Amino acid sequence: MGRALRVGLSACFFHADPTRAIFKGKTLLYAEHGMVDFAMSRGALAVMIPPPGRYEGAATVGTEAMVEELDGLILQGGSDVAPESYGESPLDPAWGGDRVRDVYEIALIEAFMAQGKPILGVCRGLQILNVALGGTLYQDIAAQIPGARVHRDWSIYDENVHDIELSSGSSLEAIYGVGGGVVTSVHHQSVKDVAPGLVVEARSTEDGVIEALGRPRVAASDSWIVGVQWHPEFQQGRSAWLLDSRVLLGAFMEAVEARRALGGGV
166 band by pLDDT with thresholds 50, 70 and 90: very high
Task: Reply yes or no on whether 123 is catalytic.
Answer: yes
Average pLDDT, the chain: 93
Task: Reply yes or no on whether 231 is catalytic.
Answer: yes
Catalytic residue among 105, 201, 211, 233: 233
pLDDT at 265: 47
Is 1 a domain residue?
A: no
Question: What is the widest separation between alpha-carbon atoms in the chain?
Answer: 56
pLDDT at 181 over 90: yes
Query: Whole-model pTM?
Result: 0.94
Q: Alpha helices, DSSP H only, in the chain?
A: 33-40, 63-68, 99-114, 124-132, 141-144, 171-176, 232-235, 245-262
End-to-end CA distance of the chain: 22
Is 246 a domain residue?
A: yes
Read off the CATH number of the domain in which 161 is found.
Answer: 3.40.50.880
- Sign, Cα dihedral of 122, 213, 183, 71: negative
Is 196 a domain residue?
A: yes
| Structural domain total, the chain | 1
* 245 CB-side CA count, 13 A: 23
Is 236 a domain residue?
A: yes
pLDDT at 236: 77
Catalytic residue among 12, 105, 123, 162: 123
Is 225 a domain residue?
A: yes
Domain hosting 78: range is 6-262
Task: Reply yes or no on whether 233 is catalytic.
Answer: yes
pLDDT at 191 over 80: yes
Quickly count: other Cβ atoms within 10 Å of residue 205's Cβ.
16
Give the least confident one: 12-21, 179-188, 228-237: 228-237
